[in-house]
Amino acid sequence: MIIRAKADIRASEITPESVYLGRRKLLKQLGLGAIGLTAFGQQQASSQDGSVLPEVKRPSPFDTDEALTTYEDVTTYNNYYEFGTSKSDPAENAGAFEPRPWKLQISGQAENTGSFDLDDFLAPHQLEERIYRMRCVEAWSMVVPWVGIPLARVIEACQPNSNAKYVAFYGLHDRQRMPGQRFAVLNWPYREGLRIDEAMHPLSMLVVGLYGRTLPNQNGAPLRLIVPWKYGFKGIKAIAGIEFTERQPSTSWNAAAPGEYGFYANVNPAVDHPRWSQSSERRLAGSGFGRLFAGRVDTLPFNGYADQVASLYTDLDLVKNF
């Protein structure tokens, strides 16, 4: 450690007292201790190669008992347009991406806002594994053991005020690190949003890993969203900002194609996508042409989580609000 004399420290390098106190308050709200943070941060800093995560809680009451999709399939076949539009592009193009260090910006209608080190939100005692179904809008699906923390815990620590009706998420915007952003496929950065009651639901999860390992770059390292009763495009990757808003936020796919991708994105097999049926899905398995012949299963309302979440939408027309 290099300790500099006071005269050598520029004013711009001094953390303002309000920022420092806000950070400490948020850490206290999260229930994180300095020892746990240090240990987890050191482990994360040296484990971007799929290393095993420490002290992950298993099992979860939210688990499905369906057969898992293989680690290889989960990490080599997915959508992540920041690294290319082909399903194989993320695995092929994201290897050089450096997910640490990482800042998370909290803003909007909340008591605790500011820029925070991501590891301030992560500690070994928080992590838990949940085996969730994942349904992609293109009629294929996976069953994945995700590792993360309940989104509700972070929201509670931020202390949103009564004006906060929605939670908006923003991905990283960096054309050098994410070559897909050099093309106007979407209006970058990637944006997503939830109603605050959806975000607070115990199924909603901030994910830092899968299969008990650190989250691979191609799957959204270092932090992504999982909302298992919604289509996969809700699962924003490489989250760089969270904002509490009074109005419904703009979301990337809804802005790009409002007739195809609604804000809610709840899995509804009775409502077809304009270009394909949503009534069944292909469980991802195998590679190459083998994936084209993977077994199909009926798609379930809310992706099989209706018992847990249908009550959130009792007054909402799920055909008009898709």
Structure tokens belonging to residue 189: 């950065």
Please tell me the predicted confidence (pLDDT) of residue 295: 77
Please tell me the predicted confidence (pLDDT) of residue 36: 35
| Contact of 80 with 89, CB cutoff 8 Å | yes
CB-neighbour burial class of residue 74 (10 A; exposed 0-12, middle 13-18, buried 19+): buried
pLDDT by position in tens, the chain (length 322) = 333 333 443 444 444 545 545 555 665 666 544 333 333 444 443 344 578 998 899 999 999 999 999 999 999 999 999 999 999 999 999 999 999 999 999 999 999 999 999 988 776 457 999 999 999 999 999 999 999 999 999 999 999 999 999 999 999 999 999 999 999 999 999 999 999 999 999 999 999 999 999 999 999 999 999 999 999 999 999 999 999 999 999 999 999 999 999 999 999 999 999 999 999 999 987 555 556 666 789 999 999 999 999 999 999 999 999 9
How many angstroms separate the CA atoms of 114 and 103, rounded?
10
In the beta sheet, which residues pair with residue 214? 209
Please tell me the predicted confidence (pLDDT) of residue 120: 80
How many angstroms separate the CA atoms of 55 and 301, rounded?
34
Please tell me the predicted confidence (pLDDT) of residue 51: 87
- Backbone phi and psi for residue 127, each to the nearest 5 degrees, phi listed first: -70, 140
Residue type, 189: P
The DSSP secondary structure of 28-67, one letter per residue, reads HHHT--HHHHHHHHHHHHT--SSPBPSS-B---TT---SP
Please tell me the predicted confidence (pLDDT) of residue 14: 44
Count Cα neighbours of 5 within 13 Å in the Cβ-side half-sphere: 2
Q: Distance from CA of residue 294 to its chain's centroid?
A: 27
Q: Sketch the domain layout of the chain as residue ranges.
A: 15-313
* CATH superfamily ID and name for 15-313: Oxidoreductase, molybdopterin-binding domain (3.90.420.10)
| Contact of 235 with 242, CB cutoff 8 Å | no
- Backbone phi and psi for residue 103, each to the nearest 5 degrees, phi listed first: -105, 140
How many angstroms separate the CA atoms of 147 and 143, rounded?
13
Is the C-alpha dihedral spanning 121, 253, 50, 130 positive or negative?
Answer: positive
Closest listed residue to residue 157, CA positions, set 5, 26, 266: 26
| Contact of 144 with 77, CB cutoff 8 Å | no
Start-to-end CA span in the chain (Å): 54
pTM of the complete model beyond 0.75: yes
How many angstroms separate the CA atoms of 209 and 50, rounded?
8
